[in-house]
A and B are shown apart, each in its own frame.
Chain A
Amino acid sequence: MRRALGGPARPGTERSPGTGRPRPRGEARGVPLSGGRTRRGRTRPDLSATPSLGSQSPRRVLASAAMVTARRVVPADPRRHAGPRRRPAASPVSGRGVRQGSGASSGSQRRASILSGIYANKAASCRSPSTTSDGKAVDRASLVGNKYATRVFDDEGKDVTPRPLFRSDPNTVVPRQGKLLASSAYFGATGSGFLSSFSMHQTSGVNGSLGSFSRTYGSSSSSLSNASTTESVLDEIVEPGSRRDTAVSLSDVQVRQEEIKEWTKEDLDRRVDIYLTETETIWILDMPSVVVSVESEDAGRVLERNRIYVDICKNRPGNDRFVEKMMQTINGAAKNKEVQCDKIIMEDKGMLVTSWDLYDSFNVSEIEPVSKAEGSRATTGKSSKSHTTKEHNQTMLVSSNRGSTTSSLMISESAVLARIHEEEECHSEAILTSENFQQNLFFMERILMENIFQPKLAAYRQFPVLIDPDVTSDMSGIVAAVKEAEQEEHDKEKKDKEEQKNAFVDPSILSDLNKTPEEIVPPRLERLWSYICDLTNGHSVSSMAWSKVNPDLLAVGYGAFDCKEQKKGLACCWSLKNPMWPERIFRCEHGVTALDFSMASPNLLAVGMYDGSVTIYNVQSCNDAALLDSSESSNKHTGPVWQMRWVEQDRSATGDGKKERLICISADGRITEWFIQKRLDCIDLMKINRTESEKKKLPGEKERKREALISRLAPGMCFDFHPKDTNFYLAGTEEGHIHKCSCSCNEQFLETYRGHKGPVYKVAWNPFSTDMFLSCSADWSIILWHQDSQTPILTFSSSTAFVHDVMWSPKSACIFAAVNESRVEIWDLSASILNPVTSCFANPRVKFTSVLIAKNTDCLLVGDSKGEVSVFELQNLAAPNNNKVGTLHDIIGPAVAI
């Protein structure tokens, strides 16, 4: 029995096996046929593919069951279908897909078509009980092979031969649209469409009956009887169909072909109505139930199966074994598992990644394994942490910190925690005492100094002095005037004010910038700053020395000016970068009378003291302790060490290279050389014997008794080694003699120069013209000597004060500086041999005691009795283009008697 599927056929629907037919029957029925002509099937190969071609299963999708019937009905009336009913383009509308009951079209027609389809089926089915269907099945089976060999007829004789859904006949290949057109036309047509298809196969009967179907809803049986009525209709329908062959396909083609005609313009412009109608219901699956006679041999089995089926249906609703699924994929069984956990706290952290961050991370990860070993060490204490700080750079410190904090040992962790607590308490102290902090303080101080002293330092360095535009200084003194002078745009009024304030202002300075060639600006000394601090107040500067390697480092020795009162002395190292506080402070037991930096080991500073002891300090350490002391030496001086010097000497005799010796001269009349071994020891180079001054023996004078001498040795005051040949040297004594001695001979002087009447405070070889030397003495004079002449060449005396110090300029052979108690003088022999070219007066209560000329700049340092070392700048001194040795020689030429 054919079962009409009222609703949309669900492909996945399983029909109950109980109603299933025995297979051969189903097959026999061959509902999804390949034999029958199914235009529909052709146009929709997807549907046809499955069932039609010989696959015979009872549960086949009988999509085209209705189609089959419908096809029969369709008379393939091109005229009718190509008419106003439908436009060609509309075919896909109905031809598409399985349209089951969809599309609201002309309702009556549709309904008619469907119902007719239904009724057709029903008719067919009711007329074909199983038995008859068997017979028919047989017929149908044979139909599979031969399309038109077998025909299936109803009881009424209708030809219900199913038509194949799929035709592989190449002749029948026509455009899909055409097919669709045709098929849809067929389907969209009225029930007469059905009928017409039927009419294809048979001449009249069935057509007639089916035709009546369309007209009537109700009785199916009556349709058959109305053959006559339909005939007329069908005649129409058949009419074009009769033209065709039995091959519907061909008729299709012909239909198609007939339909193709020339389109004229009016055809194109013609108004064409489109009718959208519902298509025929498409049966996807039709499983008619099979009725089995109770007496048949299968009955028992069938009953059993029915029963099982019923049971299953009953069990279905709540049964686990049945799952409603709309799709064919198999999903695994889902299992829900609930877990309870603490609230997961989420934190958002944003990070700006910089390239140094990456670098640090990389470095830390590299150093981590190394420092992990140290990490355990680092946990032992704060000191070790700082220890590691010293050993490694800051990255290492970071990593060792991390190492210590990431070490997983419990003990270490607790230790760390304990330490952290401790640290928090004394954290601020830790900061203050940390090395970094001290260093930063140091730098800060220097930078402050730089800010304060910048103009002066710039002048020292002979840089152009820049004026800070924001600085509204009311500095008094020469410096301010200079600054404003250099600033041409500066306020004239202010400049004038400054001028009025300051009597020292030399108008020549102001015109410095716009100096005309005719003007010769006289040289002057300008005070820049002074090295002074609280410590040095009260002391007197006794000696000064530059460091041999660092021209900005100055060592100043402080002692008592007056020989009577002796107090503790001081040796300070001053740096240019900090004029307000010395870099190193060495406190000495006695007043410092001489000091010098070593050349070979520039960190050694030798200090000679009033009591004759010699101490060597290491300047690198801030420590006050002496490196070496002469206190254990048995041979040390007994009188104040008036001068000491490190002298480089060629020891050609011994074959060694240049060796440095520490030579001292002291008031006990000995010139000693000190050796630096385990302890400081010395040997005598020379003993300065008292030489009797040559006295002209007046005639008639009796011989005097020899003066009673306290000692046979004359106190030595100063010495100077020859700049070229360090084998011999000059020594000045308290007697006023200057002896020329040789290192190789320590018994006798080579020569003695007599000229001074008072103690010779300083002798100095001329660095350029090495035959000449200067000496200054307490007899208010400075004498220029030639080494070959025993008498003075030139004498300079400009004041009635002790000349404490004299020094040649390192740049010119004719210039030297001399300091007497009240002023410092610059002499330029090429300019004048009678007067100093410039001088600077000291403050009234202060006496200048020593002078030092800077090598790298035109500056002069003058120490005074108040402990202040003033820095003066030599300005406008004639630039020495050559050493002016020639000039000097010219000057002294006439004076040299020899």
Chain B
Amino acid sequence: MAEVEETLKRIQAHRGVVATIVVNAEGIPIRTTLDNSTTVQYAGLLHQLTMKARSTVRDIDPQNDLTFLRIRSKKHEIMVAPDKEYLLIVIQNPCE
């Protein structure tokens, strides 16, 4: 547990990391560094996108599965590690 916390802290402290969010399957944030409303917004939207992405991957080959999702936008890069029970979201600003 301590290791997990440590790793989370390290990730948060990295250069350019804007936010780190961990939400459970229902969309309730477990760990977040943003305010609640933004967190919930991110969680909801990314959850849907992850579902769609996973559906796409598995439709092509049912034995495959989605492991990681990265969305590169002009301002940020959003990285999502999806799982059955949670979503790990990190938003980074890679230029810093």
A contact set with B: CB distance below 8 Å: 354-356, 358-360, 394, 427-434, 436-438, 440-445, 447-449, 451-452, 454, 468, 470-473, 580-581
Closest-CB distance, A452 to chain B (whole angstroms): 5
Contact B62–A442 (Cβ < 8 Å): no
Q: How far is the CA of A100 from the CA of B75 in the complex (A)?
A: 94
- B49-96 residues at the A interface, CB under 8 angstroms: 55, 58-59, 62-63, 65, 68, 70, 74-75, 77, 79, 81, 83-86, 88, 90, 92, 94-95
Question: Chain A: which residue is nearest B74 at the CB level?
Answer: A470
Instruction: Name the one of B11, B30, B62 contacting A355, with C-beta atoms under 8 angstroms.
Output: B62
Instruction: Name the one of A432, A447, A472 contacting B68, with C-beta atoms under 8 angstroms.
Output: A447
Q: How far is the CA of A775 from the CA of B79 in the complex (A)?
A: 50
12 CB contacts below 8 A, A to B, read A354-B55, A432-B4, A437-B86, A441-B7, A441-B88, A444-B79, A444-B81, A445-B14, A447-B79, A448-B14, A470-B74, A580-B10
**A354 — which chain B residues lie within 8 A by C-beta?**
55, 58-59
Q: How far is the CA of A354 from the CA of B52 in the complex (A)?
A: 11
Closest-CB distance, A435 to chain B (whole angstroms): 10
The reply to whether the CB of B22 lies closer than 8 angstroms to some CB of chain A is: yes
Contact B11–A444 (Cβ < 8 Å): yes
Contact B83–A440 (Cβ < 8 Å): yes
Question: Chain A: which residue is nearest B11 at the CB level?
Answer: A445
Contact A451–B16 (Cβ < 8 Å): yes
- B15-31 residues at the A interface, CB under 8 angstroms: 15-17, 22, 24, 28, 30-31
Closest-CB distance, B86 to chain A (whole angstroms): 5
Known: A441-B7, A443-B68. A468 touches B95 (CB 8 A): yes
Contact B59–A432 (Cβ < 8 Å): no
The reply to whether the CB of B35 lies closer than 8 angstroms to some CB of chain A is: no
Closest-CB distance, A532 to chain B (whole angstroms): 14
Closest-CB distance, A367 to chain B (whole angstroms): 14
B contact set with A: CB distance below 8 Å: 1, 3-4, 7-8, 10-11, 14-17, 22, 24, 28, 30-31, 55, 58-59, 62-63, 65, 68, 70, 74-75, 77, 79, 81, 83-86, 88, 90, 92, 94-95
Known: A432-B31, A452-B94. A355 touches B88 (CB 8 A): no
Closest-CB distance, B45 to chain A (whole angstroms): 19
Q: How far is the CA of A449 from the CA of B81 in the complex (A)?
A: 15
Question: Chain B: which residue is nearest A401 at the CB level?
Answer: B84
Closest-CB distance, B57 to chain A (whole angstroms): 8
Main secondary structure on B side of the interface with A: mixed
**A444 — which chain B residues lie within 8 A by C-beta?**
11, 79, 81, 88, 90
Contact B59–A355 (Cβ < 8 Å): yes
**B94 — which chain A residues lie within 8 A by C-beta?**
451-452, 454, 468, 471
Main secondary structure on A side of the interface with B: helix
**B10 — which chain A residues lie within 8 A by C-beta?**
445, 580-581
Closest 7 CB pairs of A and B: A356-B58, A359-B62, A440-B81, A471-B95, A356-B62, A428-B30, A451-B94
Question: Chain A: which residue is nearest B73 at the CB level?
Answer: A470
Q: How far is the CA of A603 from the CA of B68 in the complex (A)?
A: 28
Q: How far is the CA of A355 from the CA of B22 in the complex (A)?
A: 30
**A430 — which chain B residues lie within 8 A by C-beta?**
85
Q: How far is the CA of A472 from the CA of B94 in the complex (A)?
A: 10
**A427 — which chain B residues lie within 8 A by C-beta?**
24
**B84 — which chain A residues lie within 8 A by C-beta?**
394
Closest-CB distance, B91 to chain A (whole angstroms): 11
Known: A355-B62, A432-B4, A451-B16. A443 touches B95 (CB 8 A): no
**A356 — which chain B residues lie within 8 A by C-beta?**
55, 58-59, 62
Q: How far is the CA of A432 from the CA of B7 in the complex (A)?
A: 11
Q: How far is the CA of A526 from the CA of B79 in the complex (A)?
A: 31
Q: How far is the CA of A513 from the CA of B82 in the complex (A)?
A: 42
Contact A445–B95 (Cβ < 8 Å): no
Contact A448–B85 (Cβ < 8 Å): no
Closest-CB distance, A12 to chain B (whole angstroms): 67
Q: How far is the CA of A54 from the CA of B84 in the complex (A)?
A: 90
Q: How far is the CA of A358 from the CA of B55 in the complex (A)?
A: 12
Q: How far is the CA of A576 from the CA of B86 in the complex (A)?
A: 29
Q: How far is the CA of A356 from the CA of B58 in the complex (A)?
A: 5
**A448 — which chain B residues lie within 8 A by C-beta?**
11, 14, 17, 79, 90, 92
Contact B55–A431 (Cβ < 8 Å): no
Q: How far is the CA of A452 from the CA of B8 in the complex (A)?
A: 17
**A445 — which chain B residues lie within 8 A by C-beta?**
7, 10-11, 14
Contact B85–A473 (Cβ < 8 Å): no
Contact B55–A451 (Cβ < 8 Å): no
Contact B95–A470 (Cβ < 8 Å): yes
Contacts A356-B55, A470-B74 aside, 5 further interface pairs with beta carbons under 8 A come to A431-B86, A445-B14, A451-B16, A454-B94, A472-B95
